[in-house]
Amino acid sequence: MADLITASGPSGVPVSSPLESHIVAGEFGNLAYGARVTLAERCGLAICDVQAWPGNTTRTARAIGKATGLPAHARGHGVGTLGQAFQYSPDRWTVIANQAELAAVIANAVGDGGSVVDLSHGRVVLRLAGEKSRWVLAKLFAIDFALSAFPVGRGIGTCHHTIGVQIQRVDRQTFDLLAHRSLARALWDALTRAGEEVGGRVPDRT
């Protein structure tokens, strides 16, 4: 009996986003200095949770690195050419890539050294970018987002209110936020409200 999600394969039926009817494209908030943050949903990504069994950390990290295009020394941590990954607890990673077979690719590489769960439908990825992205995030999360404390590629699990969120720094001013699908609207609303002070922009969903 196969995994429901990975067994389903490409169905040809478009995947609906929990934010589909919720997002309004355009600018919002205080635009006196322009839109200083951009908030968007990253759709169509494969998202996996990976766990290495004891003693298989290196092997699993290497498999993740290969799937995401990360250099070998990255130890399954960072933004690669094919995707991105970060370790958020001992022997556990979140992996994101724009390839439908991501879970199968990693599972094959990991073999009996670990386990992979496809969460592509269970999580959403929001991208917050712009010169004031740190300022907006600091309103919601008790995390030091200074570049020295939270370098590019680093990911972390935290929460705002009761919304569990994983955050990865993609570049100096860009962060990806992963949240449970059912809480996507709540996180979106919290981010837009926090961003009103600095002015924000939501790009068209194209």
Partner 1 sequence: MSGYRRPSGGKIVERGKTVTFSFDGKQHFGFAGDTLASALMASGVMLVGRSLKYHRPRGILAAGVEEPNALVTIMGPDGHRAPNVRATELEIYPGLACESQNRFPSLAFDAMAASGLAGSALAAGFAGKTFMGPTFGLMKATRPWMAYERRLRRLAGLGRLGTEPDRGRSQKMNAFCDLLVVGAGKPGIRAALEGADQGKQVIICDNGATLGGYANWSGDPDISAMVTRLQEMDNVRALTRTSVWGWYDGMTLAAAERLTDHLGEADATRPRQRHWVIRAGHVALATGALERPLVFADNDRPGVMLASAAQRYAAMYGVLPGKRIVLFTNNDSAYATAIALKARDANLVAIIDIRADVPEAAHSMAAVAGATLHTGHAVTGTSGGAALDSVSIAPYRLETRRTAGPGQDIACDCLLMSGGWSPVVHLPAQRGDAPVWDEHLQAFLPPPTDGNWSVHGAVAGDFEFGDGLSPAPAPVIEIGGHGKAFVDFQTDVTADDVRLARREGFHAAEHLKRYTGLGMGTDQGKTAGVAGMTIMAEALGTSVETVGTTRFRPPYAGVPIGTIAAERHGDLHPRRFTPMHDWHVKNGATMRSDGLWERSAAYRRWNEEAAQASLREARAARRSVGIADVTPRSTIDLRGPDAARLLDHVCANTIADLPIGRTRYTPLLREDGFIWADATVCRLTDHHFTVTARAGQPTPMLEHFEFFQHCGGTAPRVHLTCVSDQWATMALAGPRAPDVLSACVIDTDVDTRTLPAAGVVHGRIAGIAVMIARPDRPGPFGYEVRCAAGHGLDVWNALIAAGEPFDIAPIGLQAMETLRIEDGQLAASEIDGRTTAHDLNLDGFVSTTKPFVGSAMMDRLGLKHAGRHALVGVAAQKGGRLLGGSHLVASPDKQNPGASLGHLTAACFSPTLERHVALALLAEGRARIGQTLYATDPLRSGTHIAVDIVRLPFLDPAGGGGHG
Residues lying near partner 1 in the complex (CB under 8 A):
1-5, 7-9, 11-13, 15-18, 21, 29-30, 49, 51, 53-54, 112, 114-115, 117-123, 138-144, 146, 149, 161-163, 180-183, 185-187, 189-190, 193-194, 196-197, 199
At its nearest, how many Å lie between partner 1 and the CB of residue 38? 17
**Comparing C-alpha atoms, which of 118, 137, 139, 140 is closest to residue 127?**
137
At its nearest, how many Å lie between partner 1 and the CB of residue 96? 15
Q: Distance of CA 52 to CAs 26, 40, 123, 186, Å?
A: 42, 32, 21, 32
- Smaller CB separation from partner 1, 105 or 140: 140
At its nearest, how many Å lie between partner 1 and the CB of residue 56? 9
Q: What is the signed CA dihedral for 134, 97, 165, 176, rounded to 10 degrees? A: 10
- Smaller CB separation from partner 1, 13 or 72: 13
Cα–Cα distance between 185 and 177 in angstroms, integer?
13
**Comparing C-alpha atoms, which of 122, 115, 159, 113 is closest to residue 137?**
159
At its nearest, how many Å lie between partner 1 and the CB of residue 81? 26
Residue 25: burial class (beta carbons within 10 Å; 0-12, 13-18, 19+): exposed
Cα–Cα distance between 22 and 27 in angstroms, integer?
15
- Smaller CB separation from partner 1, 76 or 114: 114
- Smaller CB separation from partner 1, 9 or 71: 9
At its nearest, how many Å lie between partner 1 and the CB of residue 125? 13
- Smaller CB separation from partner 1, 79 or 145: 145
- Smaller CB separation from partner 1, 79 or 165: 165
List the structure tokens of 118. Answer: 């496809």
Strands across the sheet containing 46-52 = 78-79, 83-89, 92-97, 46-52, 114-118
Residue 39, strand partner residues: 128
At its nearest, how many Å lie between partner 1 and the CB of residue 34? 13
